[in-house]
Structure 1
Amino acid sequence: MLKDNPTMCLSPKYLSPKSQQICQQLFQAQTYNAKDIQEQLHIVRLISIDDSPCVYLDPKDKLQAFKSDNAICLELQTHLTKDVK
């Protein structure tokens, strides 16, 4: 379910520890539907993991990353920067 709906991973505090681990693995291995995350980013311009900002699109639609120590956010930053340009 998380693979088809990766936006659920953006609120890990509501997920079980096992689901959080799956989210991290999905983002790390890029085995999720990136289109959902990209659409979310283009609509709201900011993606937060729980209450911490992770990535955003600046006024020129360039992807920017916030400093984070959240493992899910770090994986998302790493792979989203390759996909969204």
Structure 2
Amino acid sequence: MLARKASETMLQDWADLMASHLSVEGDAALLAEAMALAQHLDPHLFDTLYHALALAAPVAVPLTADGSMAARLGNLERLQHYSLTGP
């Protein structure tokens, strides 16, 4: 939500949240990368969490059915037989 609604203050907002000593499950660096992708590419953070994880995993093959996302990131494999808009 920070990336979509407060992109100009997102990084400082995130730093403030991390400074609050809340417990974070998972890797904070992965979440930060997902936030950067969301800010740069304008999808929902939920979508970019998947992409950030897939891009960070050395043996993963990142896949998407979203043609525009595949074109924007460039290093995602496009699922040719699936479409977000139907057949």
TM-score (norm 2): 0.24
- Give the alignment's TM-score, normalised by structure 1: 0.24
Higher RCO (CA 8 Å, separation ≥ 6 residues): 1
- More strand, by proportion: 1
